Amino acid sequence: MIENLETANNPEKLRRVAIDPISRVEGHGKVTILLDEQNKVHQVRLHIVEFRGFEKFIQGRPYWEVPVMVQRLCGICPVSHHLAASKAMDIIVGARHLTPTAEKLRRLMHYGQILQSHALHFFHLSSPDLLFGFDSDVSQRNIVGVAAKYPEVAKKGVLLRKFGQEIIRHTAGKRVHGTGSVPGGVNKSLTVAERDALLKDIYQIVAWSREAVAMVKDLHNQNPGLYNSFGTFRANMMSIVGNEGGLDLYHGKLRGRDENGKLLFDGVDYQGYSDLIAEAVKPWSYMKFPYLKSLGEKQGWYRVGPLARVQNCDFIPTPLAEIERREFVDYCGGTPMHAPLGYHWTRMIEMLFAAEMIKDLLHDDDLLGSDLMVTGPRELEGVGVIEAPRGTLIHHYRVDEDDLVTMCNLIVSTTHNNQAMNEAVRHVAKRYLNGRELTEGLLNHIEVAVRAYDPCLSCATHALGKMPLEVELLDAEGMLLDRMTRGSDESTSGCRIT
């Protein structure tokens, strides 16, 4: 851990450079760098700068609203929140085992989401760095530049995402913020016409997903010096794995490994996640810092997401993705890969896995069934966990006998990666920025490291900060609309209107 770069000894004497906002990521974040007169780096921090407070205002709402409300944390991965909340509420309504139709439709929705999110992240957001270079011309370094120089790559990216979004539309009702999953099951199955429309395209989607894996693999192999070392540091990893140890992004048990790949824990029922994980707070970010209790705050942080999942499972249960996983493991020579740019490779392996899962599911007539809901003995507390595109997503609720939510705790995927992303930007700053005149291209190196984790910074924002400041909000005519002061002397330690 590069602890000495987290907090400088004498920040007031240093020059501040900010990357604000971090672009080509989802959500609101910035990186600040403190430098001395010789441009030596003394402090680097990734800040999450927004608050929304979902965990609080969800309280008092009826439980059946929750899967529809909480997905509005995130417009890129709403299905993950929709399903994690539904899984928690399944427990509340006593539906521990869904009907085959409901379970398979939810899985289809989820794999559609994995496909569209991974395609979006790779093609629309990250590919410009990898295809043009980290310090290439800023006017070209975006999806528009990719469309001009590599039109076929851009077109396939757009159509892969489109297919994933169509899966979501047919299972959830609309492409963003749908309503298909409900506590105890789903509210709609597929019609034959919908199923056939998706079947028509799926073979092409599987083929393009294979090409995407090949493309990332080539990039990695062409420049192993960069790809294996850029922002690299060793870390623990965590994910859920399926019952037999295979990759499963919808349901399973928690498994963790240390930096050498040795099992730390396995087969842990996620209903007891809070025995495993605790969270710490740092004053300079609204995003919390989770860690494994058994290892403590200093040693217990870990990575989640594709790089963790593909290395954490024993196998991938679809044939083409399993071949790719084996090739990846062989490339790493039997030890875990810790390189952030390895996320891109493993992310594309997962996209291929999602495409194959969708293909198999579309051939299953249970998707057309009419047995959608189950109920059972009512319970008061439930935890729902799913592997979202960016990593393990934990939803935990208590619901009282009047059906109202009384407690909500969310640990979102990106929050698990908080320490890891901070480590990555510090390593990159030390290696590439130290002592140099900072240019736009050099600063983009920092963003490349953040981007590899595909952070969803808006998911990760729950809370408020305090600063001794005063702000006036004026309307378009200059009239005072709102005025806040805040000071540490306030017993409330929050904002108040004066």
Among 123, 93, 109, which residue's Cα sits nearest to residue 24?
A: 123
The residue count for binding another protein (CB under 8 A) is 93
Least distance between another protein and beta carbon 343 (Å): 19
Phi, psi (rounded to 5 degrees) for 247: -65, 125
Q: Is 404 in the site for another protein (CB under 8 A)?
A: no
Least distance between another protein and beta carbon 429 (Å): 16
Q: Identify any residues that bridge with 33 across adjacent strands, giving them in sequence order.
A: 17, 44
Q: How far is Cα 370 from Cα 301, in angstroms, rounded to an integer?
A: 44
Binding to another protein (CB under 8 A): which residues in 67-106?
A: 69, 72-76, 78
Q: Which is nearer to another protein, 47 or 220 (CB)?
A: 47
Q: Is 8 in the site for another protein (CB under 8 A)?
A: no
Per-residue binder mask for another protein (CB under 8 A), 195-224, x = binder: ------------------------------
Q: Is 177 in the site for another protein (CB under 8 A)?
A: yes
Burial of 162 (0-12, 13-18, 19+ CB in 10 A): middle
Among 189, 203, 187, which residue's Cα sits nearest to residue 364?
A: 189
Q: Which is nearer to another protein, 158 or 368 (CB)?
A: 158
Q: Which is nearer to another protein, 57 or 203 (CB)?
A: 57
Phi, psi (rounded to 5 degrees) for 50: -120, 155
CA geometry: angle 24, 453, 425, nearest 5 deg: 85
Among 8, 42, 47, 118, binds another protein (CB under 8 A): 47
Binding to another protein (CB under 8 A): which residues in 134-173?
A: 138, 141-144, 147, 151, 154-155, 158-159, 161-162, 165
Q: Which is nearer to another protein, 99 or 444 (CB)?
A: 444
Q: How far is Cα 80 from Cα 68, in angstroms, rounded to an integer?
A: 11
Q: How far is Cα 451 from Cα 46, in angstroms, rounded to an integer?
A: 12
Least distance between another protein and beta carbon 104 (Å): 25
Burial of 38 (0-12, 13-18, 19+ CB in 10 A): exposed
Residue 459 per-residue DSSP state:
T
To which residue do tokens 């990760």 refer? Answer: 460
Q: Is 188 in the site for another protein (CB under 8 A)?
A: no
Answer positive or negative: Cα dihedral of 145, 146, 149, 151: negative
Residue 390 per-residue DSSP state:
T
Least distance between another protein and beta carbon 428 (Å): 16
Q: Is 52 in the site for another protein (CB under 8 A)?
A: yes
To which residue do tokens 């679809």 refer? Answer: 318
Q: How far is Cα 385 from Cα 198, in angstroms, rounded to an integer?
A: 27
Q: Is 488 in the site for another protein (CB under 8 A)?
A: yes
Question: Which residue stretch of 301-309, 347-355, 424-432, 485-493 sits at the interface with another protein (rule: CB under 8 A)?
Answer: 485-493
Per-residue binder mask for another protein (CB under 8 A), 381-400, x = binder: ---------------x----
Question: Which residue stretch of 41-49, 184-192, 220-228, 349-357 sits at the interface with another protein (rule: CB under 8 A)?
Answer: 41-49
Q: Which is nearer to another protein, 136 or 228 (CB)?
A: 136
Per-residue binder mask for another protein (CB under 8 A), 426-465, x = binder: --------------x---x--x----------x---xxxx
Q: Is 24 in the site for another protein (CB under 8 A)?
A: yes
Among 272, 256, 341, 266, which residue's Cα sits nearest to residue 304?
A: 256
| Three state DSSP letters for 233-245 | CCCEEEEEECCCC
Binding to another protein (CB under 8 A): which residues in 270-289?
A: 274, 277-286, 288
Q: Which is nearer to another protein, 228 or 485 (CB)?
A: 485
